[in-house]
Structures are given as C-alpha cells and as structure tokens.
Amino acid sequence: MPGHLASIVYSPQPGSFNRHPLPEAMLLAGYGIEGDRKGGHPKRNLNVMDQEMLDRLAAEGYPTGSGVLGENLIVSGVDLGAQPEGARFRVGLEAVIEVVRRREPCYKLTALDPRMPDSVIDRVGVMARVVESGLIRVGDAVAAV
C-alpha cells in the first residue's frame, strides 16, 4: 500500500530559515522545489521526513510541524529510516525522488530545542534528489518504484 504526501514546504527568501507551506509544488530534476532558496544543491535537493517519526519526536516533546525541523516534504506511510541509499519513490503522477543519504541534523536545531542536534541523529529523515520532474500535491500517493 503506498504512502501519501502529507506536507510540502519551501524557503523562498535567501538567508531565511522560515519555510512556507504549499498545497502543490513543481519538483525540478536535479534542483528540488521550484523557487526554493536551498534548491540546486547536488547533495540535497530535498529534506524528506516521515510523519510517523515526527509523531514519535512530538511525543518526546520536540517541536514538530510542517517545516519546523527544516524538512521540505513530509510523507506518511513510508518508513524512511528503513530505506537504503538509491531507493526511489514516485510522488504524484510524474515526480520521482531518490534517497541520497540519511540526513544529518544541523546545529541550527539547537535554537528549537537544546537537546538537538545530538538527540535526533538518524531521526530527521533523508536527503533526496529529484530524478524526474513533476507537479506534486499534498495528498498525492508516494510509492516505491
């Protein structure tokens, strides 16, 4: 059974950590979310987290919510921690993303909670690259390909 896309957020302004929610976005191959100031980085087109891990972190008292931990996409029904590098997922009808590596939590997270980043190592999702461009929408299916 496929998962689904629960959230899309991006940072439109240079120098800003603020992320803005979107109901839909264009994923661009080799870039990330169209208009995202962090897009185009060869090692991290997207930060992707799964809702189930966010729920566990919230239960431990960590701040969570769309984009709070710096993620671009939140997926539900997909255990990202169990995915190997190179795993691919179709998001919506056209877009395909590929797991590049586990995401390393950034020191900037300390401003949100003094336990971070050390306490969330291996629990903040994955870095992914966009392999095939396509329009994605909150609620779209997310399935392994």
Q: For residue 63, name the pLDDT band (cuts at 50, 70, 90).
A: very high
Q: Residue 109: how many CB atoms within 10 A of its CB?
A: 21
- Summarised one tens digit per residue, pLDDT across range 81-109 is 999 999 999 999 999 999 999 998 888 88
Q: For residue 15, name the pLDDT band (cuts at 50, 70, 90).
A: low
Q: For residue 71, name the pLDDT band (cuts at 50, 70, 90).
A: very high
Gyration radius from the chain CA atoms: 14
Q: What backbone phi and psi angles, to 5 degrees, belong to 27? A: -90, 130
Q: Is the pLDDT of residue 141 over 80?
A: yes
Question: What's the DSSP call for residue 138?
Answer: T
Q: Is the pLDDT of residue 17 over 80?
A: no
Question: To which CATH superfamily is domain 3-144 assigned?
Answer: PK beta-barrel domain-like (2.40.33.20)
Question: pTM to 2 decimals?
Answer: 0.92
